[in-house]
Amino acid sequence: MKDLFAMLCIRFAKRNTPVRKKNFLKWMMENCKQMKVKHKVDEKTEKRMTSTNLICGDLKHADVVFVAGYDTPSKVYIPGYQYYPFDEKKDHKMEMLSLVIQLLMSFIVLIALFFLIRGWSDYNIWLKIGCVIGSAVLLVAAYLFGKGAANKYNFNKNNAALSVAMTLLTQSVDKKYENVAFVFTDFSSASFMGYRQLSQMREISNKNIVILDCIASEGELFAAYNNGGKECAMSLKQIDGDIQTLDYTDAAGVFGLFRKLTYVTSGKKVDDRQVAVAHTRSRKDSKADFDRIEKVYQFLLAYMDQLGAAPKK
């Protein structure tokens, strides 16, 4: 799994544009073909954005569906930024604050560009050459600040979860489990679009959904659940007593999308129900506790084994 994790962090470090996502999915589907895994692409367009989920396995016959987001986020410029996986409203406010800061930075750069070119007529040839070069640099900077630059390092958000889910997929194939499926979702790093897309599929209406997100961060391990996902969360707790379970049966957001949801993540408890994940969407997301990643993999593998799926005939 270390080699897979390293590949995700280097070869597919940024998966934030249609081209980069397409290249990653092409590689994933090639692996599925080699393993002879049933797979398909599910696309949905929403507000001029096209989300592409990759489904591996047979959703119709699966009892449990493991979910991991494969897209990577843009960089944020908020000092001390924290991600709140269980609080859509709070996380959305952070997103809006980040956008305001980006636009403000872009505006400041454009003001600098204005002052740079206003004295053009008084510049000598060398100053004019420097002005042209400087203007080009400032225009690129303004564009990147406005659009949002791709985050360079994404070890915890979400390469750790992705490497665990992909390794579990390999194990399910080797063990010929029929009642396990995997979905790798798009647009899950800064929104729930990929999750909403999955929730609208008829095949998963009564399935146990296990979302893996930010499983290598500092703090503790959590398995948050809604009413239908409680049994799954308690099973994980029995396998590994270090996991803390959190009751989100009355929560909206992602917990309102699925009937049976267990959300596995790691971070620090802010209060009785809130979990904050630090160092994502910045250069600080260049460290990952691989012992933690291995620990998550092992208890999920044990849970998958406990399902007692009959082997394919």
b/e sequence 259-270, b meaning 16+ C-beta within 10 Å: bbbbbbbbbeee
* 32: pLDDT strictly greater than 90: yes
> Taking 60 as the threshold, does the pLDDT of residue 309 lie above it?
no
Tens digits of residue pLDDT in 163-213? 999 999 999 999 999 899 999 999 998 778 999 999 999 999 889 999 999
Distance of CA 11 to the CA centre of its chain: 17
Q: Is the pTM of this model over 0.85?
A: yes
Q: Is 90 exceeded by the pLDDT of residue 274?
A: no
pLDDT at 42: 95
Range 174-207 burial, b when 16+ CB lie within 10 A, else e: eeebbbbbbbbbbbbbbbbbbbbbbbebeebeeb
Confidence at residue 156, expressed as pLDDT on a 0 to 100 scale: 95
List, for residues 37-95, the tens digit of each pLDDT value. 999 999 998 888 899 999 999 999 899 999 999 999 988 888 888 998 888 778 778 77
pLDDT higher than threshold 50 for residue 310 = no
The DSSP bridge pattern shows strands 49-56 and 260-269 to be: unpaired
Q: How confident is the model at residue 308 (pLDDT cuts 50, 70, 90)?
A: low
